[in-house]
Structure 1
């Protein structure tokens, strides 16, 4: 075992011990700790900003784009917003101990299925140092110990944030090792975390497709895939075209860099003549580059000729793939082939078409006459999320606090024998 592996296993072992002590704590104790964490972030904002300045200086030296530097940057105001987000988590219900179902069996045994923490959650993420505080708070509220492995670009910021959070926990009834930064900034430390099976219960990668797939391929720890979104909007033959125009534009342009942004627009051939000229003009006015098939380029010769790669690309930029399809079933077939199973939308006034689309599209979220941008824990009323799962395991879609728990059965008898 390498020195890096030994260091990572050491923090994982401490996290496992902390998770055992954290699991039975009451909501009041956990909420008190969260409030202490929020206050500490504000009290130490200037030192966090100073550490962040080291990261942004390195980022500029390494030629990162201004957009990436903005995602990386922290200010006192941004830290206050992070602290407010932690306080909002305090207001959320505690899922631990919730009875999922229960009954008395014919033999008199009482059977209850209750929510319990997952245990030790490792989170591997990119760029934004605000994730460090968000993830720590969500894990703590749901009774889990957090092992945080941010990107090397935010190493100084993450280190200081975790120091501040741990100093706050030391003054509460929550074990300090419930929040830890995985040591090291190189790939070896991330790989050691991925291989800490038996110490880490689940890994959650947050970032681009390359990061997520690397974790899925290399990890021996169970992984919940989050984030990557090649989302589609399908405009049906029976669509209200005014609604369709607004939904398609909002889904693409309301924000470009999110996983629930639409990347492909599919238009039924019977709606193409009336719809495509308007939507293509509106998109061009907003600075969107259209990558279209031959039928789309008939309406807009300036559109870029779409390639096979365009249909499977999560652009995260002002680019949109647009295709004319012959039927709803053709739209579904296209989605099945290229979707990342995140979010798809249909715009239609036909209940039959909506039912067929919903039943045949297998994604974490399916929208009917609504923008894909609504797939979000806050928009769903969950209050917060750790990410959006595109898997079919216990968690799918926005992962709120309940999705960060497992369950166990408690069986109570009175001397029962089988």
Structure 2
């Protein structure tokens, strides 16, 4: 099997094309311009919760919670192995307590009636499940710090997060499968949360955090059907590079200009951006600060072009597919080098491709590409438009019926050497998955 360069990217499955494995090492480019119908494929993913987590048992409000975990986990409450805490919550933030304690180990609220009224520090993860009662959740009113991930999943009783109003520091915050939850104002005291994931919520905009919020490293926004406004992100700042942004399946999101301030804070540092399945997204405005990036843009039917990417100079992995309103690559004129550059898609047959493209016009500064892959672009009739391109290690072109042998010959004549790879029909040049590591 031919080898391809691999780059770390947001956790998705990418497809690029290459010649079938004939038991030999990669050789010079093999060409055959016959055209056939391509294969189909796909991948799915879903959030799962491990079955070995700590489950908190039922407690009376005046007693100490118990745990069924077999690990060495301190009990929570006013004694019984708790350790004293120095994380003093704001006055009147939660239930009145004479003193506060830390709980060591994962905590799961699943409807068993656990009580954490005087715990303000969890050394581990916190999971609030679909069956957790409102009284259980309210008992977290003094919780200030979680040295792990806070996950709230599928709890349809929650109208807001007032039970977590004291929360100030977490490693990651994941809110998922709660379409009734449209109010995140209770997170206003949060000052550390580098990893955020909001999925299938009822929110129309992003939350505002504490004035001294320390910034984000990754943001996932997936399938939030009412989300229209991302401008609160401009107040967050960036915690660490590379910044990762995954925006997918938000049915009415009209724009991403609200991310412009966040990207400006990122400066010239690398950013990883996925924009997938956004039927109302009208432009890429907001991406102007991006200088170096991994980009995966797919199924964005209204995006007209790449003009907001005029400052992009280098890319690790660039994948553009199913942007039918894009007629050229203008806007990518500063792009000089790319590791893996995929235009189109070889995994979905007739459903993939950049069918608005007729040439490579717009790649004025592009000099080098590690692997250049073109797939399923029905109207791509010329490879002109990248006059400086002279270095390509690997080249694949499959299912581009308007390209002729003379088009390929002209293109290869401008290169310093003949790349390895495959050119031809779906049957000749197979598509295979790469799972970036």
Greater percentage in strand: 2
Specify the TM-score bucket, using the shorter chain as the normaliser. under 0.3
Normalised to the residue count of structure 1, the TM-score between the two structures is 0.24
Greater percentage in helix: 1
Normalised to the residue count of structure 2, the TM-score between the two structures is 0.23
Structure with higher RCO (Cα < 8 A, 6+ apart): 1
